[in-house]
A and B are shown apart, each in its own frame.
Chain A
Amino acid sequence: MQRVVVIGGGATGSGILRDLAMRGIPAVLVEQGDLVHGTSSRYHGLLHSGGRYAVRDPESARECAAENAILRRIAPFAVEPCGGVFLQLRQDDPAYRAEWLAACRRAGVPVELLDLERLRREEPGISPDAVAAYRVPDASVDGFRLISGNVAAAEALGARTLTYRRVTGLLMDGARVAGVRLQSERTDASEALEADLVINAAGAWTGQIAAMAGIHLDLVADRGVLLVYHGRLTSRVINRLRPPGNGDIFVPAGSVTLLGTTATPVESPDNLEIPADEVASLLRLGAEMLPAAATSRVLRAFAGVRPLFKAKGDGASTRDLPRTYQVIDHAGAHGVEGLVSIIGGKLTTYREMAEKTVDMAAGKLGVTAPCRTAAEPILPPPEPALVRSVQAFVGPAHAAALAERHPAHLTAVVRELSAPKGSEILCECEQVTRGEVIAVARSLGEPSLSDIRRRTRLGMGTCQGAFCGYRTALVLAEAGVADPAAAPGLMLEMQAERWHGVTAALPGPELPGAELTYALYAGLFGGSKR
């Protein structure tokens, strides 16, 4: 039987699962949606150097600087070491520069002054208003790869994961939490999982879980809106050298560039609305750093919700709330045994958050094994022979990408690539093959196209899935992975989800693309729902 149930399949929960497994503690992770369906996939994908927090939140900055170095070492399959720049513009407060440099030095964030003329040659898109630039070790991190890597590593050690299971209540044994009650989001079946300890790592939903034990946590759901641009507007992360605000981070990722973010407190972590004024503010502010951001094609907008915690006396703006974290043993704090919550934090520091949480859990369970998550790579490097066999089907560059995307399932990918038509391209923008899609789909059972998109980047390019989603649903039916009767629903679900993001970014150069999608799907589905 599991000793621990971990609630939440985001970065923190998956990191905790791996840490528990490495210390020999049997555990099950439960997640209400797909892995990473929450905030860990709804952010800019920046592996922070710490520079952003150096002045106002030095503790977070120190944590980021340390964890950034660790993650590059243990998760090379998820990190694109593109580097980053802090850019000061003519209109920014010149005095902030010295303050920032001193704070970075104190926090251990490596900073190096750049030759602006050379930077302009390398990054021709930056504004003529730039007056100074500093290099920092920012990177782009693929939340999905990172989390599925942690889960795969934990599963290899015997841990289990249950996705699409919503926690509907906690099993109580008097004042002790004795497990969780789950309901399947797919079949409506319910089940109970008993455990010696429940770890609440539900991110933005942590408060809702704690409330099931009658505990009130002072959390703030802070919604951030981001834009996804077609193509790479920049080859490295571009930050603005001023106090953190809206629209001051560009992160290149795959074939797109992300611009983030806004910060608006919301009542519910499920509030993923994308207000037009926030989109307009991002466009305006983003263009101050990269003028092309005003006119380049925005593929879509999306929103995620940061789980921040609010200590007494913190200021009113969510920008001022710390990005640090806190591990709470509810036995001491609220008289409820058997429940530990981890609140706050950010993806860059997920590993350290997991370590501190499992330190507390291990203490409560009487386990003395130390944390080893920083010392060992999450996954062994892909076997060269296996990568070579992938190359036979898709070429060297793409083989390396596949090895990074599917470190734990590469054997299955090779098997499906070698099947007839396995190397046929289904998504031209992201070069996703039929073999990759089928291997991923088989590993998931009955996935949605969004589940496949998160694992392969299918549909994340120019057509936003209008053409490749259609093809993929038909191919899944042909391969026997999807029921032919379900194929139309699969393509429509993907388009409905994408439409939400596309329409939020209107009106801009993406408008003809939106009309094309609408024309095609109204045609396929017999018009609107009239």
Chain B
Amino acid sequence: MKTQSYDVIVIGAGLAGLMAALAAREQGAEVAVLAEGGGAFELSSGCIDLFGATESPWTAMTGLRKHPYTLLGAAAVREAVSAFVAASGRMGLPYSEPADGRNQVTVTAVGNLRTTYLPAPGAAVIRPDPAADPGRRPVAVIGLQGMKEFHPGVVAEGLKRALPGTPVTARWVPLPAGTPDDLQPVQLARLLEEPVFRAKLLQALPSVPAGTTVLMPAVLGLDGAEAVRADVSAALGAPVGEVPLLSPSLPGLRLATRLYRYVQRRGVELCMGVQAAGAAAEGGRITTVTGQTVGGPVTYRAGAVIVATGGLLGRGLEVRDRTLCETVFDLPVEQPGGPWADADLLSVRGHAFVRAGVRTDDWLRPEGRANLYICGKLLAGYDPYAEGCGGGVAIASGWRAGGLAGGAVR
């Protein structure tokens, strides 16, 4: 069996795992990321939520109990968010932190408002507070005819309800003649990066009065999104903001693409298509991780291991015999105490099964594990969808786990 040696092995290439790899690398560690797939990026709006619908996530997160944020502490969260913002600039997909430290408001594909802390670059951002926008800038929603994933009228009607007094209009723009039928959002985004196709679409776009907020479906390019957005804004005569679609979500895929490339440039080895299948330990310390690859099993020797395999969606957790189990190390999982789910899908309480996960000490280690660190959705104690904190916990716990693991092995 082949054996490879690293200081730190990260299992999982979602946002938490990649931040952990960057942080460990920052400490000078040799780092490899082993991953079966690419995280939940294609389900993500690309926006980084920190906490809640409240105006200041920093104030709200101080009152939590048994939450990953309480393990980490606000200072570590701030440090991690700054690290992510700095890295995003270096990878060419710059996120910016709001100067006042308050949540921003974005728009969903059904015209609802949704708060986030770091909007995805290019995301439509709205100022619902009348004091911030006394003139009530008009909003124009533009759909692309033939796309069944986005309806400008649906978004416009939602915004009219959410922003009373704001003039909102909706219109369709035809896709260029000869566009294939039944295009998927990713294919359309790639087509828009081709100059000829893009020029044809730009011709069909209306020009809008200066000062209008223009919203379009988030299909304006994949890796070359910035250029597509700039051209579209110029044709419209006003900056365009994107509305993320259900899935696959382009803003999430853009972040994934840039992050993969960036971690590799920083010297992290990104081993995709590797399923972590087991481990060996000596005296409470993990010594090796076994990975299944198409080329057969590979042994990875490691000074420290970071588990960023995610929850149920990432298959860090799975159900065996009506019990939630951790899939790689069979770590103890805190089960839901009472009913697994609330009867109401969008219950304000969230759902107990989503809070299930692995409990750790203040250094993100499960009990009795000296060199094993947990980060991201595998952690117990939070419901990212009800609390609006998925991106924040991923970044902060990943960065902290990477820093601890990298520091410990050096």
Contact = CB atoms under 8 A, between A and B. Distances in A.
Interface stretch (A380-388, A398-406, A510-518): A510-518
B311 A523 contact: no
Interface of A: 421, 424, 426, 467, 470-471, 473-475, 477-478, 483-485, 487-488, 491-492, 495-496, 499-500, 503, 506-509, 511-512, 514-530
Given A421-B146, A519-B313, A527-B53, A478 B346 contact: no
A32 B146 CA distance: 38
Nearest to B335: A507
Interface in B336-359: 340-351, 353-354
Contacts of B319: 507-509, 511
A475 B350 CA distance: 30
B151 A484 contact: yes
B114 A527 contact: yes
B348 to A, nearest CB: 5
Interface stretch (B70-78, B152-160, B259-267): B152-160
Contact of A424 (B109, B148, B354): B148
B110 A511 contact: no
A502 to B, nearest CB: 8
Contact of B312 (A483, A491, A515): A515
A295 to B, nearest CB: 9
B386 A530 contact: yes
B156 A520 contact: no
Contacts of B341: 499, 503, 506, 514
Nearest to A426: B148
A518 B385 contact: yes
B311 A522 contact: no
Interface of B: 43, 45, 52-53, 108-115, 146, 148-151, 153-154, 156-158, 161, 170, 181-182, 244, 246-247, 311-313, 315, 319, 322-324, 340-351, 353-354, 385-386, 388
B354 A487 contact: no
A483 B154 CA distance: 8
Given A474-B149, A475-B148, A523-B108, A528 B386 contact: yes
B217 to A, nearest CB: 11
Contacts of B146: 421
A518 B113 contact: no
Query: When A and B form their complex, which 8 residue pairs have the shortest distance between CB atoms, in order from nearest?
Result: A484-B153, A522-B385, A485-B157, A503-B341, A488-B110, A526-B112, A526-B114, A499-B345
Given A522-B346, A527-B385, A506 B353 contact: yes
Nearest to A520: B246
10 contacts: A478-B148, A485-B157, A485-B158, A507-B322, A518-B385, A519-B43, A522-B385, A523-B385, A525-B108, A530-B348
Contact of B182 (A424, A470, A474, A514): A424
A519 B385 contact: yes
Contact of B150 (A474, A516, A518): A474
A279 to B, nearest CB: 10
Contact of A524 (B110, B311, B312, B323): B110
B148 A471 contact: yes
B345 A507 contact: no
Contacts of A485: 154, 157-158, 161
Nearest to B354: A515
